[in-house]
Structure 1
Amino acid sequence: MSQRPSTSTADLDRFDIAILGVLQNDARISNADLAAAIGLSAAPTWRRVRRLEELGVITGYRAEIDRRKIGLGVLAFVRVDTERDNADTTRALEDAIRQWPEVTACHYISGAGTFELQVLVTDLDAYSRWTMETLFKLPNVKDLHTSFSLGEVKSGGALPLGHLSPAPQHGDTP
């Protein structure tokens, strides 16, 4: 397993931050248009994007798909309570969760519960089948608590970048 070089916000200058902002809004933008948007020429802009990818700051590019238009009408938030006293079983559960395409996000959580899952399925019957055929078959799952989305106010938004302050510049050169 190769490790990416570590980076910190101090490693990002104003051009890097601008690149991140533009690409979050339009990852299909051409390099020439990206360069014009951030005020650099094409070659250094391309090198900066490659560097951000190599550092793991940019982790990929994806299409945003309207889930409803492809038949995924139910969005559920599922708190999974598990036995926390067995690290091997918890790792097995993590591995299983990573394999389930219905789970679009999973977080360890504080307070009650162990995991919070974001699950997309076609309808309530599909959700019921999915829980019975997947979650409840795992040995350390004690309980589930599900909340269903009644409507999306905001989804798939860009990450906030306002907290990033550019690294000090020597002559402000690219």
Structure 2
Amino acid sequence: MSSTLKLDQIDRKVLEILQSNAKITNAQLSKEIGLSPAPTLERVKKLEQAGIIKSYHAQLDPEKVGLGVTTFVQITLVGHKKVVTESFVEKVNSIADIIECHHITGTGDFLLKVISKDISTYQKLMLEKINEIEEVASTQTMVILSTFKESKTLPLP
């Protein structure tokens, strides 16, 4: 199935419910959408097979697991050749503290979301890992002071 699967109202409702509570039982989900359990399960499997539902995760509280500093780091590369970009991305994917990597337009080339225990741990990561990536020409860090909205729910069109 393609990723442009036509979604009806029931599919949208399934996706809205699963985005807010992925641990819901099939029986409860079927009650909430008004179908019996078998067709509900078929719809969920169809959405998974189409790649619309990519995975299920537990969302952790960073501070409660000892991660107190979140930053966005804008990266400018030394060049824009495919080999430079691919090499950079491969290296970034091997650094666990980098939890997101986005190819962007504008003054930079990439935007990284980095999470660390504290500022000194972040500084060590920058000095010993990120700044040592030979494809990196420059970095600009923005430290997150407060977060007022952080939705993991996609607004379905």
Same fold (TM over 0.5): yes
The answer to whether structure 1 residue 8 and structure 2 residue 39 are counterparts is no
For residues 143 and 95 of structure 2, the distance between their equivalents in structure 1, rounded to whole angstroms, comes to 19
Per-residue deviation, 1:98 = 1.6
For residues 56 and 67 of structure 2, the distance between their equivalents in structure 1, rounded to whole angstroms, comes to 22
TM-score for the superposition, normalised by structure 2: 0.96
TM-score for the superposition, normalised by structure 1: 0.87
Per-residue deviation, 1:106 = 1.1
Per-residue deviation, 1:139 = 1.1
1:157 matched residue in structure 2: 152
- Does the CA contact (< 8 Å) of 2:69 and 2:115 recur in 1? yes
For residues 44 and 102 of structure 1, the distance between their equivalents in structure 2, rounded to whole angstroms, comes to 41
Per-residue deviation, 1:86 = 2.6
The answer to whether structure 1 residue 121 and structure 2 residue 116 are counterparts is yes
Aligned residue for 2:152, secondary structure, equals coil
Q: Percent identity between the aligned chains?
A: 34
Q: Residues 1-174 of structure 1 correspond to what in structure 2 (within 5 A)?
A: 5-8=1-4, 11-161=6-156, 163=157
Structure 2 letter corresponding to 1:7 = S
Per-residue deviation, 1:133 = 1.3
Structure 2 letter corresponding to 1:114 = D
Per-residue deviation, 1:90 = 1.4
CA offsets, 1:54-84, max 9 Å, x none? 0000000000100000110000000001123
For residues 85 and 115 of structure 1, the distance between their equivalents in structure 2, rounded to whole angstroms, comes to 11
Q: Which has the higher contact order (CA 8 A, sep 6+)?
A: 1
- Structure 1 stretches lacking a partner, 5+ long: 164-174
For residues 48 and 154 of structure 2, the distance between their equivalents in structure 1, rounded to whole angstroms, comes to 16
Per-residue deviation, 1:85 = 3.2
- Does the CA contact (< 8 Å) of 2:87 and 2:135 recur in 1? no
For residues 124 and 7 of structure 1, the distance between their equivalents in structure 2, rounded to whole angstroms, comes to 40
For residues 59 and 79 of structure 1, the distance between their equivalents in structure 2, rounded to whole angstroms, comes to 27
Aligned length: 157
For residues 55 and 91 of structure 1, the distance between their equivalents in structure 2, rounded to whole angstroms, comes to 27
Aligned residue for 1:126, secondary structure, equals helix
